[in-house]
Amino acid sequence: MRVRINLVITCLLLAVGHIHAQSIWDGAHLQKVKQSLHQPYFSTTYQELVAEAEKLLDVQPLSVVMKEKTPGSGDKHDYMSQARYYWPDPSKPDGLPYISRDGESNPELNKLDRNRLGATAQRVTTLALAWYFSNDEKYAQKATELIRVWFFNKDTRMNPNLEYAQMIPGHHNNKGRCYGVIDTYSFVEMLDAVQLLEKSKAFTPKDSKQLKAWFGKLLTWILNSPQGQEEANQANNHSTAHDAQVIAFALYAGNVKVAQEVINAIPQRRIFTQIEPDGRQPHELRRTLAFGYSQFNLSHFIDIFLMAQKIGISIDNATSTDGRNFYKAMDFLAPYVGKDVKDWPYQQISEWDYKQQEFCKDLYRVFLLNPERTDYLKLYRAHRTIDWKDRFNLLWVKPDDVDNAYAFACGQLQFAMKCANKARKEAENQCKHRVIPRSINKDGSLRMIHPHDWCSGFFTGSLWQVYAYTNDDFWRQEAISNTWMIEEAKWHKGTHDLGFMMNNSFGKAYQLTGERSYKDVVLQSAKTLITRYNDKVKSIRSWDHNRDKWKYPVIIDNLMNLEMLFWATQETGDSIYWKIAVNHANTTMKNHFRPDYSSYHVVDYDPETGEVRAKQTAQGYADDSFWSRGQAWGLYGCTMCYRFTKNPAYLQQARHIADFFFGLPNLPEDFIPYWDMKAPGIPNVPRDASAAAIMASALYELRTYVSAEDSNRYQSIADKIVDSLNKHYQAEPETNYGFLLLHSTGHHPGGDEIDVPLNYADYYYLEALARKDAFKQ
């Protein structure tokens, strides 16, 4: 078989590559993270890391001499563990010899050394990372204490061998098996952490020298012992793990030659023998945890590739003449990501969800190794579950501004739910059935609203959007409970805003879960909404108030509710919803816009003739002014109408609106508009972050329908808006009742909701982030 290997080794790397350098981790990345711990994406994980380290400061160091049994050598300093999947034989009085139950762990393991070894490695890793990121020597001191007890101290140290690892009671005179050689795999990551400790005061040069010598001896044992040699000859993940350990221990002990030799043999000895041309790993697929072991083996390969990269060797693309390679194996598992276990054609008797997430992490690490595999990044982002406490975030993830914004949103919305739950218990809110947070009142209290309020769907919609980003079931459950609070609004015929209310909540829920109950609510809401349609006017009536002033008012905002109607026809096949939506859009196009493509807020019609009675701007400064949120609704609404109909008139209108608004000479440099672009007193007037967020979201969609040149221009504007919102309009964490954005304006002429947070600003901000995020996938 022919091997394609790119091998580049420099004398410098051979000489010093193993000194003060990470083997699997990327030291340069860790340094950047250390400088960015204030960023939302890292801050929670870092806080969790430090909290874990604090708990470890008082723990008793673990040692091999703590085990209840003594190995056959008679020396408790010899490491001893029991085979994981072997159990007492129920047909024998004494249970001996033990029998295999593949995939089922025997709790007797806890009595011996394996879990203590793993716990020690994990504790040292945690403490070393806490020291590195915080520079607090107490963590380094504790890590060093644990190392000395396990590895150095005369009374407690482990002998550097695995002679009694994974023994099976009643077999081989209770001697260890070759499989026990990989009991020390947790040391691989620990040694990366130890190398961080090199610069601490606590971990002395003597400690370093002793530990390197210890691992040098363990390496010699692994290479020369019958168990180690037998493990090296295994045909499955055991041999891969064996090699990963040998490479890691050799690099740490300074034996680069051994590491190099093992790495260079990986393609022929491991990749080409374990992976079929179609990507199957037969030795792993025969297990009861077939997906798990297939993933497990690939994770070892990734560790090896990363270590190889550190000494200038690239073997991840090595391919045999009949097409066997690592990426084929990755691609074999990839189609099952996000699927149910029943779709997996082999056995996986437990841990399906856990192993799915482990494979997602593998996808990300491979992308870092090979940035050309953007398909892996896309698959990772679509299916990974974000746990803000997982140190994977610190060790591997390279977040961008969108990731940090969502991390911020997660923290804020958790606080928002606490505030909302507290407010729901207040007597007045209970009495008036106010259940959803909308804004902040003039007196500083949280403004809660009834399900019939036009803003009732936005908070829930924000929760669904965070769930879509994180894939974390916590957010799904919170979104569900908040969504059903407003179900009664599906019957509410007194509002034109059922699209805002129900499509942005129940519609999001159906989109993300596919559960029929959500769909039924949105379809009923669509039926309710079209009862407000007048065929003479060919529009849906907006407001019912001020009947002495308006006969049949239609506001520019109402374009936004058409999305639910277009969708209803797609789902049911009933064209009535589509026809009403198109008629309303066309009437709005005809009457709401001025020659310069700015828009009025309100157009009043004669319901008997359909004739226009008046054109006004109720929530703007003046009838002829440019009320910013109104322009935003027009831009978004026309863009959305084009999405469904592909009528070029809507697209052209959306482009004209965008070009008009962002061509205004008095638009602020940060692109966050004044509440009205003709308001007296500019620039000393309130801004409207909600209008900016709506426009940014619309522009991200609009860019997908136009030429490359215009696409870049619209994206540049949207990026500028989002960047401004991220940097200057976010609330401080756990303030403002958990709202995300500050400085929005609701109804300035009415003296209501001026320079406050608004739940719809948050909703469209998150939507803009999601649409921006989609372009990098």
Q: Which residue ranges form the domains of the chain, and what is each CATH number?
A: 6-399 (1.50.10.100), 402-774 (1.50.10.10)
Residue of 78, 362, 557, 688 with catalytic role: 557
* Cα 187 to Cα 184: distance, rounded to the nearest angstrom: 6
Q: Which residues contact 384 (CB under 8 A, 6 or more apart)?
A: 357, 360, 361, 364, 471
CA atoms within 13 A on the CB side of 76: 13
**Which of 673, 692, 675, 688 lies closest to 743, judged by CA?**
688
* Cα 392 to Cα 129: distance, rounded to the nearest angstrom: 12
Give the predicted TM-score (pTM) of the model: 0.93
Task: Give the mean pLDDT per block of 10 residues along the chain (777 residues).
Answer: 39 39 92 97 97 98 95 95 91 92 86 96 98 98 98 98 94 90 98 97 98 98 97 98 98 97 98 98 97 98 98 98 98 98 97 98 98 97 96 97 98 98 98 98 98 98 98 98 98 98 98 98 98 98 95 98 98 98 98 98 98 97 98 98 98 98 98 98 98 98 98 98 98 98 98 98 98 86
**Which of 188, 186, 182, 184 lies closest to 304, judged by CA?**
188
Residue of 183, 192, 497, 688 with catalytic role: 497
Q: Sort strands 164-167 and 752-756 into parallel, antiparallel or unpaired.
A: unpaired
* Cα 179 to Cα 163: distance, rounded to the nearest angstrom: 11
Alpha-carbon torsion angle 516, 566, 718, 649, nearest 10:
170
pLDDT, position 2: 39
pLDDT, position 283: 98
Helices (H), 425-514: 427-431, 458-470, 473-483, 498, 508-513
* Cα 183 to Cα 120: distance, rounded to the nearest angstrom: 13
- CB atoms under 10 Å from CB of 402, counted, come to 21
CA atoms within 13 A on the CB side of 101: 10
557 is catalytic: yes
pLDDT, position 16: 39
* Cα 483 to Cα 116: distance, rounded to the nearest angstrom: 46
R_g (Cα) of the chain, nearest Å: 32
Phi/psi class of residue 734: alpha, beta or left (left: φ > 0; alpha: ψ in -120 to 50)?
A: left
Q: Which residues contact 254 (CB under 8 A, 6 or more apart)?
A: 18, 19, 212, 216
pLDDT, position 109: 84
773 is catalytic: no
User: What are the start-end ranges of the E strands in 69-227?
Assistant: 80-82, 86-87, 99-100, 164-167
**Which of 174, 136, 175 lies closest to 34, judged by CA?**
136
**AA identity, residue 176:** G
